[in-house]
Amino acid sequence: MRRDGVPLRGTAAVIVGTALAVSTAACGGGGGAEPGATATDAAKGSTLIFASSADPSILDPAYHSDGESSRVTNQIFETLVATEKGGTGIVPGLAESWKVSKDAKTYTFTLRKGVRFHDGEPFDAAAVCANFERWYNFTGLSQSDSVSYYWVTVFRGFAKNESDSLGKSLYGGCAAKGDGTVELKLTEPSAAVLSALTLSSFGIASPKALKDYKADEVSGTAESPQFTGTFGTEHPVGTGPFKFSSWTRGDKLELVRNDDYWGEKAKLSKIIFRPIEKAADRAQALRAGSVHAFDYADPADLESLKSAGVQVIERAPFNLGYLGFSQRTKIMQNQKIRQAIAHAINRENVVKTKYGAGAKVANAFMPDSLWSYTEDFTRYDYNVDKARQLIAESGEKNPTLEFCYPSGVSRAYMVDPAGNFQLMKADLEAAGFKVTPKTSPWSPDYLNISQAGDCPLYMLGWNGDYGDPDNFLGTLFQSFSSQWSFRNEAIFKVLDDAEREPDQAKREELYKRANALIAEFVPGVPYAQSPSFSAAAKNVQGWVPSPVLNDVFAAISLS
pLDDT at 86: 86
pLDDT averaged over the chain?
88
What pLDDT digit, counting tens, does each position of 242-280 carry? 999 999 999 999 999 999 999 999 999 999 999 998 889
- Residue 375: band (very low, low, confident or very high) from pLDDT cuts 50, 70, 90: confident
- Asked whether residue 317 carries a pLDDT value surpassing 60, the answer given is yes
Measured distance CA(68)–CA(487) in Å, rounded: 31
Cβ atoms of residues 325 and 399 within 8 Å: no
Q: What is the rounded average pLDDT of the residues 279-304?
A: 91
pLDDT at 89: 82
- Residue 2: band (very low, low, confident or very high) from pLDDT cuts 50, 70, 90: very low
Q: What is the rounded average pLDDT of the residues 101-128?
A: 95
Measured distance CA(424)–CA(419) in Å, rounded: 9
pLDDT at 45: 52
pLDDT at 35: 40
pLDDT at 22: 29
Element (H, E) at 220: strand 218-220
| Bigger pLDDT: 501 vs 537 | 537
What pLDDT digit, counting tens, does each position of 486-534 carry? 999 999 999 999 988 878 899 999 999 999 999 999 999 999 999 888 9
- Residue 335: band (very low, low, confident or very high) from pLDDT cuts 50, 70, 90: very high
Of 110, 128, 115, residue with least CA distance to 262: 115
- Identify the three-state secondary structure at position 473: helix
- Asked whether residue 174 carries a pLDDT value surpassing 80, the answer given is yes
Total-model pTM: 0.76
| Bigger pLDDT: 53 vs 365 | 365
| Bigger pLDDT: 356 vs 403 | 403
Of 370, 349, 353, 362, residue with least CA distance to 471: 370
Q: What is the rounded average pLDDT of the residues 43-65?
A: 87
- Residue 356: band (very low, low, confident or very high) from pLDDT cuts 50, 70, 90: confident
Measured distance CA(401)–CA(522) in Å, rounded: 16
The Cα-based distances of 501 to 59, 172, 387, 455, 545 in angstroms read 34, 18, 39, 35, 32
Measured distance CA(253)–CA(108) in Å, rounded: 36
- Identify the three-state secondary structure at position 414: strand
- Asked whether residue 342 carries a pLDDT value surpassing 50, the answer given is yes
Measured distance CA(498)–CA(492) in Å, rounded: 10
pLDDT at 164: 87
Percent of the chain with pLDDT over 90: 68
Cβ atoms of residues 385 and 344 within 8 Å: no
pLDDT at 81: 96
- Asked whether residue 10 carries a pLDDT value surpassing 60, the answer given is no
- Residue 316: band (very low, low, confident or very high) from pLDDT cuts 50, 70, 90: confident
Strand pairing category for 47-52 and 270-275: parallel
The Cα-based distances of 221 to 14, 55, 156, 492 in angstroms read 10, 21, 20, 28
Cβ atoms of residues 556 and 48 within 8 Å: yes
| Bigger pLDDT: 344 vs 315 | 344
| Bigger pLDDT: 277 vs 95 | 95
| Bigger pLDDT: 336 vs 375 | 336
The mean-pLDDT minimum among 215-219, 447-451, 481-485 falls in 447-451
Question: Residue 260 carries which side chain, given as an amino acid letter?
Answer: D
pLDDT at 443: 72
Radius of gyration for the chain, computed over Cα atoms and rounded to the nearest angstrom: 23
- Asked whether residue 223 carries a pLDDT value surpassing 80, the answer given is no
